[in-house]
C-alpha cells in the first residue's frame, strides 16, 4: 500500500441506534475489537472513538450506551431528544464528530455490514481518498423481495438523474474536510447517500458482503423503504416534474386531435352514443391529473418544510463533556 498520509488519523465510528438493546451487547465488543485492530496496525490514533447515537429509543439502549462509556473510554454516546429516524441520527453523529476527529465511519449497529471493511476504508483514506463508500457485493442474506426492490430503487434513481452509488447504503468513511462542506448542506429532507457524491472530492469504494442482522428486528419495513425511495428521488432530482410536463404535453396533443375528430364526426352527422369511450377518457384524464398534482404536491410540501428551517436534530444528553 502506498500511504500518502503519514499522520495517524483520529477515527470516530458513528453508530445510530434505535431500540437496539438486543443487538448492542453483541456488536459493541465487535466494534471495540475492530477499533483496537485499527490502532494496533498503526492505521489510526489512540484518540479514536466509537460514538453511539441513541435515536430516542424506548428500551434500554441508552442505559447500555451509558454503561459502555463507563467501562471503556473508547465508547462515547449522544442521545437525541426523541426519535427522528436513521438519517437524522447519522447526521447528528456526523455533526458531533465534526472538528473533533480526522475521519468518521458511519455504520448500522446491527452487524449486518461487515465491520472488517473498515480496514480497507481507512487504507483508502491513507492512500488519499476523502470519501470511501461501502458497497455491498452480495445480498444473498436479504430476502428476494428486499434484494430486488432495493436494486430497482438504485436503477430508478440513476435513471432519474440522481447520482447514487449502486448498492451503497450509509456505511461510509468521510473525512473532516468533506464534513466541513457537508455542514453547509442545510436541507431538512435528508438523503445522505445522495448528498455526499454532490460534495465531490476524491472518493472510492470498498466491497463487502452484507450479512443478516445479529439480533433484534429491522426498522425498515416496506412502508419506510418506499418513503425513503420517494424522498431520495425528490431530493435529488426534479425529473418527475419534467416527466409530468412531457406526459401533459402528449395528452394535450392527443386531446386536441380527439376534439377535431369529434367535431368532424359531429358535422358529418356521424355521432355515436359513446358512453364507454367518454367514461374511459374522463377516468384516464382524472387519474392522470390527480397523480400529477400529487407529484407536484410532493415538491411543494418539501419546499414548505425547508422554509421552516427547523433543527434537524436535538441532542439532549452526552456521556462525555464535549467542550473539554
Ligand atoms: N435506526 C435509527 N432510527 C430509526 C430507525 C433505525 O437510528 O428510526 C438505526 C438502527 O438502529 C440501525 C440502522 O438505523 O442501526 C438501520 O436500521 P435497520 O437495521 O432496522 O434497517 P435495515 O438494515 O433493515 O434496512
Ligand atoms: Mg439492519
Which tens digits make up the pLDDT trace of 241-266?
Answer: 778 777 877 887 787 787 788 788 87
Ligand number nearest CA of 108 is 1
| pLDDT(109) > 70 | yes
Helix pair angle (61-71, 24-40), 10° resolution = 30
Which atom of ligand 1 has the smallest separation from the CA of 109? 15
Which atom of ligand 1 has the smallest separation from the CA of 53? 7
The residue ranking higher by pLDDT, 305 or 275, is 305
Can you give the pLDDT at residue 78? Answer: 96
Top mutation candidate among 15, 16, 213 for ligand 1, by most atoms within 8 Å of CB: 16
Ligand number nearest CA of 142 is 1
What percent of the chain clears pLDDT 90, i.e. is strictly above it? 49
| pLDDT(77) > 80 | yes
Query: CB under 8 Å to 131, separation ≥6 — which residues?
Result: 172, 173, 174, 175, 178, 196, 199, 201, 202, 203, 204
Name the nearest CA neighbour of 165 among 145, 140, 186, 137: 137
What percent of the chain clears pLDDT 70, i.e. is strictly above it? 97
| pLDDT(272) > 80 | no
Ligand number nearest CA of 153 is 1
Ligand number nearest CA of 109 is 1
Which residue, judged by its Cα, is nearest atom 14 of ligand 1? 86
Can you give the pLDDT at residue 139? Answer: 67
CA of 210 to the centre of ligand 2 (A): 10
Can you give the pLDDT at residue 152? Answer: 82
Can you give the pLDDT at residue 2? Answer: 77
The residue ranking higher by pLDDT, 284 or 181, is 181
Residue 50's pLDDT band (cuts 50, 70, 90): very high
Across the range 157-185, mean pLDDT stands at 88
Top mutation candidate among 15, 18, 62, 134 for ligand 1, by most atoms within 8 Å of CB: 18
Residue 228's pLDDT band (cuts 50, 70, 90): confident
CA of 146 to the centre of ligand 1 (A): 15
| pLDDT(53) > 90 | yes
Residue 92's pLDDT band (cuts 50, 70, 90): very high
Residue 20's pLDDT band (cuts 50, 70, 90): very high
**What is the C-alpha to C-alpha distance for residues 121 and 43, in angstroms, rounded to an integer?**
11
Residue 123's alpha-carbon distances to 1, 45, 209, in angstroms, are 8, 14, 18
CA torsion, ordered 215, 220, 222, 223, to nearest 10 deg: 140
Residue 299's pLDDT band (cuts 50, 70, 90): confident
Which residue, judged by its Cα, is nearest atom 2 of ligand 1? 86
Q: Rounded mean pLDDT of the chain?
A: 87
The residue ranking higher by pLDDT, 32 or 227, is 32
| Ligand 1 cavity residues, CB under 6 Å | 16-18, 20, 55, 83, 85-86, 89, 108-110, 112, 218-220
pTM of the model: 0.79
Top mutation candidate among 219, 227, 313 for ligand 1, by most atoms within 8 Å of CB: 219
- Range in 16-20, 51-55, 99-103, 274-278 the model is least confident about: 274-278
Q: Could you tell me whether strands 168-175 and 315-318 are parallel, antiparallel, or unpaired per DSSP bridges? A: unpaired
Across the range 299-309, mean pLDDT stands at 81
| pLDDT(324) > 70 | no
CA of 91 to the centre of ligand 2 (A): 17
Amino acid at each position: 500500500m502506498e500511504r500518502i498520509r503519514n499522520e495517524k488519523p483520529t477515527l470516530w465510528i458513528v453508530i445510530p441506534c434505535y431500540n437496539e438493546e438486543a443487538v448492542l451487547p453483541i456488536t459493541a465488543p465487535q466494534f471495540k475489537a475492530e477499533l483496537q485492530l485499527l490502532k494496533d496496525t498503526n492505521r489510526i490514533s489512540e484518540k479514536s472513538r466509537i460514538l453511539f447515537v441513541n435515536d430516542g429509543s424506548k428500551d434500554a439502549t441508552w442505559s447500555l450506551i451509558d454503561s459502555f462509556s463507563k467501562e471503556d473510554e473508547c465508547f462515547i454516546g449522544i442521545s437525541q431528544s426523541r426519535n427522528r429516524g436513521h438519517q437524522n441520527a447519522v447526521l447528528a453523529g456526523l455533526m458531533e464528530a465534526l472538528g473533533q476527529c480526522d475521519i468518521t465511519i458511519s455504520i448500522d449497529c446491527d452487524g449486518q455490514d461487515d465491520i472488517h471493511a473498515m480496514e480497507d476504508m481507512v487504507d483508502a483514506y491513507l492512500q488519499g481518498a476523502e470519501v470511501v463508500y461501502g458497497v455491498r457485493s452480495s445480498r444473498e442474506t436479504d430476502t428476494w423481495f428486499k434484494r430486488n426492490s432495493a436494486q430497482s430503487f438504485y436503477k430508478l434513481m440513476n435513471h432519474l438523474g440522481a447520482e447514487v452509488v449502486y448498492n451503497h447504503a450509509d456505511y461510509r468513511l468521510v473525512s473532516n474536510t468533506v464534513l466541513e462542506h457537508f455542514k453547509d448542506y442545510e436541507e431538512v429532507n435528508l438523503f445522505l447517500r445522495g448528498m455526499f457524491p454532490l460534495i465531490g472530492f476524491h472518493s472510492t469504494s470498498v466491497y463487502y458482503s452484507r450479512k443478516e442482522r445479529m439480533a433484534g428486528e429491522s426498522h425498515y419495513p416496506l412502508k419506510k423503504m418506499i418513503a425513503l425511495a420517494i424522498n431520495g428521488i425528490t431530493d435529488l432530482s426534479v425529473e418527475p416534474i419534467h416527466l409530468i410536463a412531457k406526459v401533459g404535453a402528449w395528452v394535450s396533443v392527443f386531446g386536441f386531435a380527439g376534439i377535431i375528430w369529434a367535431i368532424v364526426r359531429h358535422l358529418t352527422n356521424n355521432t355515436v352514443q359513446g358512453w364507454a369511450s367518454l367514461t374511459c377518457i374522463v377516468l384516464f384524464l382524472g387519474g392522470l391529473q390527480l397523480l400529477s398534482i400529487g407529484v407536484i404536491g410532493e415538491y411543494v410540501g418539501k419546499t414548505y418544510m425547508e422554509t421552516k428551517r427547523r433543527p434537524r436534530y436535538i441532542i439532549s444528553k452526552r456521556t462525555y463533556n464535549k467542550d473539554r
